[in-house]
């Protein structure tokens, strides 16, 4: 159920954010769209790193989770600066 919600949010959010920035949607609306889209994409990224951790082992899996687990926060902080 959660996977379907994240999939719908990502499939709708990514094109909508591109269209919204090109058509100059209001700032508050764009902020909400970006937040919902990045939550969905972070969910996909988290599941992907967990799947890789199962295959790669504990050490490499921990390294992957530590690096890619903070990617969303890193992207947000770079763009907010």
Please tell me the total count of domains within the chain: 1
Long-range contacts of 21-26 (CB under 8 A, 24+ apart): none
Helix extents (H) in the chain: 2-22, 27-56, 58-68, 71-80
Identify the domain containing residue 6 by its residue range. 2-80
How far apart CA 8 and CA 16 sit, in angstroms, is 12
Q: Give me the phi and psi of 69, to 5 degrees please.
A: -65, -25
Over residues 25-57, the pLDDT tens digits come to 999 999 899 888 888 888 888 888 888 888 888
Over residues 7-20, the pLDDT tens digits come to 888 899 999 999 99
């Amino acid at each position: 159920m959660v996977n379907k919600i994240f999939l719908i949010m990502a499939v709708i959010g990514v094109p909508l954010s591109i269209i919204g920035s090109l058509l100059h949607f209001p700032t508050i609306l764009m902020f909400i769209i970006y937040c919902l889209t990045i939550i969905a994409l972070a969910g996909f990224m988290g599941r992907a790193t967990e799947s890789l951790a199962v295959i790669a082992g504990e050490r490499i899996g921990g390294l992957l989770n530590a690096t890619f687990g903070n990617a969303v926060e890193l992207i947000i902080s770079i763009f907010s600066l």
